[in-house]
Homo-oligomer: A and B are copies of this chain.
Amino acid sequence: MSTATAAAHGPSDPASVELPPAVTRILARHLAAARYEDLPADVRHEGLRTFLNWLGCAVGSARHEAVSIAIDALSPFSGPAQAGILGRAERMDVLHAALINGISSHVFDFDDTHLKTVIHPAGPVASAILALAELRPVSGRDFLNALVLGVDVECRIGNAVYPDHYHVGWHITGTTGVFGAAAAAGKLLGLDEQRMVWALGLAATQPVGLREMFGTMTKSFHPGRAAQNGLTAALLAQRGYTSSEQGIEAKRGWANVTSTHRNYDEITGDLGRRNEILLNSYKPFACGIVIHPAIDGCVQLRNEHGLVAAEIERIDLKVHPLVLELTGKTAPKTGLDGKFSVYHSAAVAIIDGRAGEPQYSDERVRDPEVVGLRDRVTAVIDPAMPADAVAVTVTLKGGRVLQKRVDHAIGSVARPMTDRDLEAKFTDLVQPVHGEAGTAALLRACWDLEALADAGDIARMAQTR
C-alpha cells in the first residue's frame, strides 16, 4: 500500500492538524501501574463509604420487581453459579450477576451521586468487580484500589463531557460507567497497558443509556448493563481481542461522537493525585432530592425537642418552587406515591426520625398516625428559597412554636452524611433482608474490607440462604 501510505502523509492529511493528547493510552498506563499503597487515607475511606452505601442499596432493593423480572428473563441463559445476586439466594455467572446487581443497586435511585456530573458511580464499577472477585479471589486492598480507580475513570471522563453530553440526552451513568467497569475489572484481571487500551476501546464502543428511559425499569438497567459491558470489554481485551488505540479521543471516538464539547485535561490532569471519589455523595432519604431539606429540618426539630406526633398542632414548610411541582401529592395512596409527597415525607420524618425505604412502604403511607400528622402539614412556595434549603415551623398543641432553617440539606456537598448516617441508612436497607446480627456482620465486613484476604466473602455474606 505504498501509494496509500504516501497519500496519507500529503499536505492535506488530517494527521497534520493538531491532535488531541493520547488520552486513552495515558489513562491505560496509569491504570496498569496504580497501586493500593499509593492511595491517600481519605481516598481509601471514601472508597469504603462508597462501597458500603452501594451494597446497602443493592441488598435493600433486591426484591424489586425489576430485579425479579430480569432474573426470570435471563436465568435460562446464565452460565455456572459463579457469583451471588446480593440480597437473594440465586447465583449466576459473573457477567449476569454484574448486570443484576447493577440493576438492584440503582432501582430505588438511592445510590451514590457524583454531583458534579450526576453520575451514580458505584453501580457500574462495584457490580462488575464484586461479581468478578467471587470467581477470581482478590484481596480487599486490591479490590478497593480497583473500585477507586474505576470511579475515578468514569467521573473524569464524565467531567470531560459534562454537561454537554448529558444535554444531548445520554444517561451519563451508563455511558461513562462502561469505562469505569472496564478499568476496574481490567485492573483486577491484571491487564497491561496495551490490553487496557483495548479494554477502554471496547468500552467506548458500547455506551448504554438514554435519558428518555427515566421513569421506567430501563433506567436501572443502565448501570447494570454498563457493569456487564465493561467486564466483557476487559475479558475480551485480556485474551487479545484488539480495539482502537484512541477509543476516547479519536476523531470518531467516544468523546466526539457522544458529546458536543470535551475537555481532555479533565481526564488526564493530575492522575493519581486528584481523586474524583472524594466528590462522591450519598442520599440520606429514599425520595426525590428536592424534598430532602424538608425531611432534614423535621428530623432535626424532632431530635432536638423530642417531638411526638400527638403533641403537634401543625407543621408549616416554606419550600423551593420545585417541591410542590414535583412532590405536591397531598393524599398519597401507595409507597411509591409517598415519594412524591412532601406532606407524607415530613410526617414520617417527625414520627420515625428518618425517611428510608421503610418509610415509603404501602403500609407506612396508610398508617393512621402518619396520615393524621400528614394532614396537619402545609407547604408554601418561597421563590427565594434555594433548592437545598427549607424553613420549617412546628406549632405545638400548647401554642409553643419551634423553627428550623436548613441552608444545606444533609447529603449535599456542603453537609455530607457522616459514617454513622451511612450506617443507619445501611441498616434500614439491609435489616429486613438479613436481620439484626447479619446486618451488623455485613456492615463490619464492609468497614474492614482492607483486612479481607478475599473480597468475594462480602458477596457471599450478602446473599440469603
Residues of A whose CB lies within 8 Å of any CB of B are: 1-4, 7, 66, 69-70, 72-74, 76-80, 82, 93-96, 135, 168-171, 174, 198, 201-202, 204-213, 216-218, 221-222, 225, 232, 235-236, 238-244, 246-247, 250-254, 256-257, 324-329, 340
Interface contacts beyond A206-B206, A218-B241: sample of 12 additional A-B pairs, CB < 8 Å, sorted by A: A1-B328, A3-B325, A77-B79, A77-B82, A77-B93, A77-B94, A79-B93, A198-B218, A212-B246, A218-B243, A221-B236, A221-B241
A169 to B253: give the CA distance in the assembly, Å.
8
User: B residues within 8 A CB of A70?
Assistant: 236, 241
A selection of 27 A-B contacts at a CB cut-off of 8 Å is: A1-B326, A4-B325, A4-B328, A4-B340, A73-B241, A77-B96, A79-B79, A79-B93, A169-B256, A170-B257, A205-B208, A205-B209, A205-B210, A205-B212, A205-B213, A206-B206, A206-B208, A210-B254, A211-B252, A212-B246, A212-B247, A212-B251, A212-B253, A213-B244, A213-B247, A216-B242, A218-B244
Using CB atoms, name the residue of chain B closest to A236.
B73
Let me know if B329 and A243 touch, CB within 8 A.
no
A204 to B324: give the CA distance in the assembly, Å.
33
User: B residues within 8 A CB of A212?
Assistant: 201, 204-205, 244, 246-247, 250-254, 257
A304 to B462: give the CA distance in the assembly, Å.
75
Among A169, A206, A251, A324, max chain B CB count under 10 A is at A206
Among A198, A212, A239, A329, max chain B CB count under 10 A is at A212
Q: Which of these, B79, B222, B329, contacts A76 with CB under 8 Å?
A: B79
Using CB atoms, name the residue of chain B closest to A215.
B244
User: B residues within 8 A CB of A251?
Assistant: 169, 212
Let me know if B243 and A217 touch, CB within 8 A.
yes
A250 to B222: give the CA distance in the assembly, Å.
18
A238 to B257: give the CA distance in the assembly, Å.
32
Contact A2 to B328, CB < 8 A, known contacts A207-B207, A253-B210: yes
Let me know if B242 and A218 touch, CB within 8 A.
yes
Minimum Cβ distance to chain B for residue A225 (Å): 7
Let me know if B243 and A213 touch, CB within 8 A.
yes
Minimum Cβ distance to chain B for residue A64 (Å): 12
Let me know if B202 and A218 touch, CB within 8 A.
yes
User: B residues within 8 A CB of A325?
Assistant: 3-4, 7
User: B residues within 8 A CB of A82?
Assistant: 77
User: B residues within 8 A CB of A211?
Assistant: 252
